[in-house]
């Protein structure tokens, strides 16, 4: 990154409102590359930014970082809290450390990469885009996902992909338990090519993992009481 | 919503009180109703320290009746009064749980509104409808060589906003055991009635009070702190990340659904368990470089001095 064009915000001693105000003022004045020092795990940093801006957080961020955004390019050098990138339309978020529960909830497009571990309910209600986790992911990851792809290089905890509508999840490590109506499918050549591209930001190759693909069994899409035994078996 | 924090020093010279209060102050947004702390290892004269609340309308005038009541169950060794709290150091006649229950009940009968918030060999418990820094200054906790402690910021969901219903809750009548809790335990009422039938008394309708008594009873049956917190994950329904503190350390447990947050940070000098990373930034600065991990749902851990 060109240091000359990088605008600096130092969050030390400031309220979240003041920090976000400074970021917005820089964006409004035409700055497209910003670094934020001392984010100190504050919540709601860089929320609601609709311009294609690059922001680097040199530390940890709290909850909802980069939420309600469209076109952001975020880099978080530390850890992220809950609900990273909530409802993002499109954009790119990369976390060097780990991220908390509900990582990338309901995002509609773009890419979220967590190099460490992700928490429970990661990519809940995913509506598009790709979520990549370099480490392991928590309980009920992919719950009610509708579209998009989740790639987990490590292990997945219980209730994976519970009540999934569509979309797919690749898991390189162990799956503790599949959620309701989630089924394991064959990984195709096309899938492998996709994974090759998805793992590039982490400097990893899909050949180093034994990826399993999880998709919806589609037996919970419609409920007819005459088919109760079918429905019950899916649960 | 609520927030919790626990801090344990692995060596002398680590500022436990200051760190815990800084963490709780940073978590203020999770709990503006009240703040409470259990702090261990502060000096006092006597075998047990009683933290006695003079009551919402009470004051220093209750001193004589309170001390007389304590004297009926042992010897008062020291006492002071600060802004609603009596700290009484005593040597009890009967240090068994039954003896301590009798002592606490007698003190409370002696003066309307008076509450024995804790009894312990190492424990001092202070809670109030104010923020952490106010409590730290008002009750002069600076510079006291505490070994460990747990604290809580409250956003009331289960019961009234007042001092009585604030955390931590002492596991009456077991000395030194307290709990701070973020969440909502859903099978507490049924279990509370079973415990009442077995002779326990509860001071509030708060779910956390039951959790404290339940855990203390497990410990009294010989379970280690580690075993007790692990078993609780099966025995408690609902949402919880809680810390249980004893004279020797504390334990943490998180419900299987990972409903409430829990971060752990550990160094060679101390261990901290907090609801949010912002608590660590509050205590150690924006730029702290300490390995922090999220305790997984359905997991528990314990640390002792």
Please name the member of A37, A38, A41 whose beta carbon is closest to the beta carbon of B278.
Answer: A41
Mutate to test the interface with A, among B233, B262, B278 (most CBs of A within 10 A): B278
Query: Do B296 and A38 lie within an 8 Å CB cutoff?
Result: no
Query: Do A140 and B286 lie within an 8 Å CB cutoff?
Result: no
Rounded average pLDDT over A108-114: 97
Query: Do B258 and A120 lie within an 8 Å CB cutoff?
Result: yes
pLDDT over 70 (residue A145): yes
pLDDT tens sequence across B210-262: 999 999 999 999 999 999 999 999 999 999 999 999 999 999 999 999 999 99
Size of interface A-B (CB pairs under 8 A): 57
Mutate to test the interface with A, among B277, B293, B296 (most CBs of A within 10 A): B277
The confidence band for A155, taking pLDDT boundaries of 50, 70 and 90, is very high
Please name the member of B276, B294, B297 whose beta carbon is closest to the beta carbon of A98.
Answer: B294
Query: Do A39 and B287 lie within an 8 Å CB cutoff?
Result: no
Rounded average pLDDT over A163-187: 96
Distance from CA of B29 to the nearest CA of A (A): 11
pLDDT tens sequence across B92-133: 999 999 999 999 999 999 988 999 999 999 999 999 999 999
Query: Do A119 and B258 lie within an 8 Å CB cutoff?
Result: yes
Distance from CA of A35 to the nearest CA of B (A): 15
pLDDT of residue A12: 95
Q: What is the ipTM of this complex?
A: 0.90
Instruction: Answer yes or no: are the C-beta atoms of B206 and B183 closer than 8 Å.
Output: no
pLDDT over 60 (residue A68): yes
pLDDT over 60 (residue A1): no
Distance from CA of A167 to the nearest CA of B (A): 23
Please name the member of B257, B277, B280 whose beta carbon is closest to the beta carbon of A139.
Answer: B257
The confidence band for B183, taking pLDDT boundaries of 50, 70 and 90, is very high
Rounded average pLDDT over A111-133: 98
Flag whether residue B257 sits within 8 Å of chain A, measured between CB atoms: yes
Rounded average pLDDT over B278-285: 94
Q: Nearest-CA neighbor of B285 among A38, A89, A92, A146?
A: A38
Whether omega for the bond prior to residue B197 falls within 30 degrees of 0, making it cis, is no
Please name the member of B278, B280, B296 whose beta carbon is closest to the beta carbon of A42.
Answer: B278
Flag whether residue B286 sits within 8 Å of chain A, measured between CB atoms: yes
| Of B285 and B253, the one with more pLDDT | B253
Rounded average pLDDT over A55-73: 97
Separation between Cα atoms, residue B286 and residue A40, nearest integer Å? 4
Residues of B annotated as catalytic (active site), given as ranges = 2
Burial class (CB in 10 A: 0-12, 13-18, 19+), A210: exposed
pLDDT over 80 (residue B66): yes
Rounded average pLDDT over A143-167: 97
pLDDT of residue B208: 94
pLDDT of residue B196: 95
* Of A20-24, A108-112, A227-231, B205-209, the least confident: A227-231
The angle formed by the CA atoms of residues B300, B292 and B301, to the nearest 5 degrees, is: 15
State chain A's mean pLDDT as an integer: 94
pLDDT of residue B152: 98
Q: Which residue of B has its CA nearest to A137?
A: B296
Separation between Cα atoms, residue A23 and residue A18, nearest integer Å? 9
Flag whether residue A152 sits within 8 Å of chain B, measured between CB atoms: no
pLDDT of residue A224: 74
| Of A230 and A93, the one with more pLDDT | A93
pLDDT tens sequence across A187-232: 999 999 999 999 998 899 999 999 999 999 998 887 777 777 766 7
pLDDT of residue A222: 79
pLDDT over 60 (residue A127): yes
Distance from CA of A118 to the nearest CA of B (A): 9
Query: Do A120 and B297 lie within an 8 Å CB cutoff?
Result: yes
pLDDT over 90 (residue B56): no
Flag whether residue A62 sits within 8 Å of chain B, measured between CB atoms: yes
pLDDT tens sequence across B19-46: 999 999 999 999 999 999 999 999 999 9
pLDDT over 60 (residue A2): no
A79 contacts in chain B (CB < 8 Å): 277, 292
Separation between Cα atoms, residue B141 and residue B47, nearest integer Å? 20
Flag whether residue B239 sits within 8 Å of chain A, measured between CB atoms: no
pLDDT over 70 (residue A234): no
Query: Do B258 and A139 lie within an 8 Å CB cutoff?
Result: yes
pLDDT over 90 (residue B205): no
Token digits for A96? 């060097």
A14 contacts in chain B (CB < 8 Å): none
């Amino acid at each position: 990154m060109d240091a000359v064009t990088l605008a600096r915000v130092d969050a030390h001693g400031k309220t979240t409102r003041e920090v976000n105000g400074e970021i917005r003022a820089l964006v409004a004045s035409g700055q497209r590359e910003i670094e934020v020092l001392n984010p100190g795990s504050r919540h709601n940093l860089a929320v609601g930014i609709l311009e294609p801006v690059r922001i680097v957080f040199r530390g940890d961020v709290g909850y909802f970082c980069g939420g309600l955004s469209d076109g952001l390019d975020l880099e978080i050098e530390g850890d992220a809290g809950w609900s990273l990138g909530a409802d993002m339309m499109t954009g790119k978020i990369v976390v060097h450390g780990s991220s908390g529960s509900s990582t990338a909830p309901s995002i509609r497009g773009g890419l979220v990469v967590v190099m460490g571990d992700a928490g429970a309910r990661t990519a809940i209600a995913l509506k598009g885009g790709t979520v990549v986790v370099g480490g392991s992911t928590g309980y009920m990851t992919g719950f009610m996902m509708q579209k998009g792809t989740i790639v987990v290089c490590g292990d997945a905890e219980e209730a994976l992909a519970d009540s999934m509508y569509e979309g797919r999840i690749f898991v390189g490590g162990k799956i503790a338990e599949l959620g309701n109506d989630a089924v394991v499918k064959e990984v195709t050549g096309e899938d492998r090519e996709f994974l090759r591209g998805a793992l590039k930001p982490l400097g990893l190759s899909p050949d180093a993992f034994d990826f399993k693909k999880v998709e919806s069994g589609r037996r919970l899409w419609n409920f007819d009481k005459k088919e109760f035994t079918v429905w019950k078996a899916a649960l | 919503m609520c927030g919790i924090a626990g801090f344990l020093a692995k060596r002398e010279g680590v500022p436990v009180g200051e760190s815990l209060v800084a963490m709780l102050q940073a978590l203020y947004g999770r709990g503006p109703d009240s703040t409470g702390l259990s702090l261990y290892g502060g000096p006092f004269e006597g075998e047990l320290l009683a933290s006695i609340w003079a009551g919402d309308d009470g004051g220093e005038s209750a001193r004589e009746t309170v001390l007389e009541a304590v004297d009926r169950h042992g010897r008062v060794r020291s006492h002071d009064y600060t802004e609603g709290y009596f700290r009484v150091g005593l040597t009890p006649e009967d240090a068994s749980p039954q003896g301590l229950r009798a002592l606490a009940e007698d003190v409370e009968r002696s003066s309307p509104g008076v509450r024995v918030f804790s009894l312990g060999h190492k424990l001092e418990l202070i809670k109030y409808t104010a923020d952490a820094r106010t409590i730290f200054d008002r009750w002069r906790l600076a510079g006291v060589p505490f070994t460990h402690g747990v604290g809580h910021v409250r956003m009331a969901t289960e019961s009234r906003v007042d001092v009585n219903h604030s955390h931590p809750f002492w596991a009456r009548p077991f000395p030194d055991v307290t709990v701070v809790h973020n969440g909502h335990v859903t099978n507490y009422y049924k279990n509370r009635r079973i415990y009442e039938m077995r002779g326990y008394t509860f001071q509030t309708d708060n779910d956390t009070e039951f959790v404290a008594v339940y855990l203390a009873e497990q410990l009294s049956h010989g379970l280690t702190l580690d075993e007790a917190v692990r078993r609780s994950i099966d025995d408690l329904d609902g949402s919880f990340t809680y810390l249980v503190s004893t004279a020797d350390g504390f334990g943490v447990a998180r419900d299987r659904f990972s409903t409430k947050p829990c971060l752990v940070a550990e160094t060679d000098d101390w261990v901290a368990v907090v609801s949010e990373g912002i608590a660590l930034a509050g205590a150690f600065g924006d730029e702290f470089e300490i390995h922090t991990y999220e305790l997984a749902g359905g997991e528990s851990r314990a640390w002792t001095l």
